[in-house]
Structure 1
Amino acid sequence: MKIALFGASGRVGQAFLKQAAADEQFDIYALVRSHHAELPLSKDRIVIGNARRREDVKKVMKDAEIVISCLGTDGDDTLSVAMANIIAIMKEQHIKRVITIGTAGILNSRYEPGKYRFETSESKRKLTRAAKEHAKVYEMLKESSLDWTIICPTYLPDRAATGDYRVERNVLPEGGTSITVGDTADFLYHELITGEYAGYRAGLAY
């Protein structure tokens, strides 16, 4: 099964690759801005380019069956521009399944119905620019006909996977304050296999 991976050189992308690259059922191809020696992929599976450019996105998505995006917001609108490219090409190529990494800020508020967490005091982050960009991507996917999952981790320290964490549909597990990069990647790998949270935002925390 061919997977088109975006954001492979980021923290979650690299952790996911370490786990998934050894799985023989997956052929992973990654779009990166420059070659990263630490990526466990052969050169023929790495496409050098930019997710803002539709032609570069199209190259890595050729013949893919699943799309995974670990892209961040990059301080601008790169995330939503890239997702617009990804959605358009998925429709062109009849690819249905996409899994992305979002943020806990775009989960539903537990205490203020109709609001995202980042719009309420539940979110500890003072700056909302990144969350608004992630929310834009969520709205784009929700309005598409795609089979999507958005994984929404809260605070992400750089530690390995424990395999012991909580997941809830569309809200953050109550009292959750953190989830490691390793466990976020671990959940991504399991969602790739099971598809259990298709059509949902998956709130992730300990």
Structure 2
Amino acid sequence: MSKILILGANGRTGRILVSEAIAAGHEVTAAMRTPQALPGVEVVTADLRDPTSIETAAKGQDVVISAIGPSGRKASGLYSDAARTLVSALTNTRVIAITSAGVRHDDPNFKRVYRLLAGTLMKEAYDDMRLMESTIRASSLDWTFVRPSRLQDEPATGTYRVEDNQTPLGGWHVTRADVARFIIEEISAGNWSRRRPTLAQ
């Protein structure tokens, strides 16, 4: 059993992460800027742009999972600000952060239509995710960046594929439930430390 702090726990992927972590027997804390009750977990107030609040929330935790995301297309510095906060606030805590397959702009297997979106309408968000990754990679933290392809709100399939730093050939989508299950299983397995698992069916 691990003690896990989940950032973005009230989001679509975050809520599934909470359920999967509880089912796996972990002790879960949800960090939110505006707290709301979540069954089976401790909820704490924390702001991703406030290192002190994150340091307090992460005290005693084994793993911090970042499932954060903006409400619209623009990240407005959310990912990079969160990265700087985590680097400042954490010492011996493992970080698992969800970014996107599109973060690698030259991924040979990333579907062309999504590559175009990542370079146009979603460019600001993807640039900010890249900055998040580079900031955390440059630190002494033990990190894993989970890069899903297009996220779908469907039940877990168990048929997704994983490759390091590139999209599995022919893959273009994956369910949030599969991503959450992969992350929770990785906490115990520890197979992807300082690597960038990219998920797709």
Separation in structure 2 between the aligned mates of residue 88 and residue 148 of structure 1, nearest angstrom = 14
Separation in structure 1 between the aligned mates of residue 63 and residue 52 of structure 2, nearest angstrom = 18
- What is aligned with 2:159? 164
- Give the deviation of 1:40 after TM superposition: 2.6
Contact in 1 for aligned 2:48/2:82 (Cα 8 Å) = yes
Report % sequence identity. Answer: 31
Structure 1: state its 5+ residue gaps.
none
Aligned residues: CA RMSD? 2.1
- What is aligned with 2:39? 40
Separation in structure 2 between the aligned mates of residue 134 and residue 71 of structure 1, nearest angstrom = 11
- Give the deviation of 1:84 after TM superposition: 1.0
TM-score, normalization by structure 1: 0.86
1:42-191 correspondence runs (5 A): 42=41, 45-74=42-71, 75-91=75-91, 94-95=92-93, 97-107=94-104, 109-111=106-108, 123-125=115-117, 126-127=120-121, 128-191=123-186
Separation in structure 2 between the aligned mates of residue 122 and residue 14 of structure 1, nearest angstrom = 25
Separation in structure 2 between the aligned mates of residue 162 and residue 90 of structure 1, nearest angstrom = 34
Separation in structure 1 between the aligned mates of residue 177 and residue 200 of structure 2, nearest angstrom = 12
Letter in 2 for 1:90: L
- What is aligned with 1:9? 10
TM-score, normalization by structure 2: 0.88
CA pair 122-148 structure 1, distance change in 2 beyond 3 A: same
Q: Deviations over 1:49-94 (max 9, x none)?
A: 3211122212210111211111114531122112211111113xx3
Separation in structure 2 between the aligned mates of residue 80 and residue 110 of structure 1, nearest angstrom = 21
Contact in 1 for aligned 2:52/2:89 (Cα 8 Å) = no
Work out which of the residue numbers 156, 163, 188 in structure 2 matches 1:193.
Answer: 188
- Give the deviation of 1:121 after TM superposition: 6.9
- Give the deviation of 1:183 after TM superposition: 0.9
